[in-house]
Amino acid sequence: MATTAPRREPLDAGDRLRAAADRLEALRDRTPGGEWETAGLLASRPEVIARYDDGTTEHVADTRARTASWISGLSPRVVEPLITWLRVSADAADEARLPPETTAAALTFAAAVIEHVELRG
């Protein structure tokens, strides 16, 4: 007799928001903290490629002038309020205290985090 894996119930809104918060928390825990700033550049760089909507690509390091503000602006200090917002929103979603459009916006953000924030490296 073959056994089947137990069916996993789909995550509810609160669980999805918490999953995104957990992912941001894990990323924060392995990232240098403190205030980030635009300063001198290292000779080595990770291979990060920007893929534009028109299909062209560009090495992010080649766009330093445009990406430095983005990277330093979204430093680990910014993640704390995002984690808190996701967790508070998850609790409120569990208790149906959020308007549907607010829940939808939070879930859109959570989905982007879960899909795009990698925890490797």
> Tens digit of pLDDT for each residue in 16-65?
999 999 999 998 888 877 667 666 655 565 567 777 889 888 777 677 66
Q: What pTM was estimated for this model as a whole?
A: 0.72
* Residue 94 domain flag: yes
* Residue 3 domain flag: no
* Residue 121 domain flag: no
d(CA 41, CA 61): 10
pLDDT interval class at 121 (50, 70, 90): low
What is the enclosing helix (H) or strand (E) of 75? Answer: none
* Residue 7 domain flag: no
* Residue 39 domain flag: no
* Residue 8 domain flag: no
Residue 20 belongs to domain spanning? 13-30+47-116
* Residue 25 domain flag: yes
If one counts the domains in the chain, the total is: 1
* Residue 2 domain flag: no
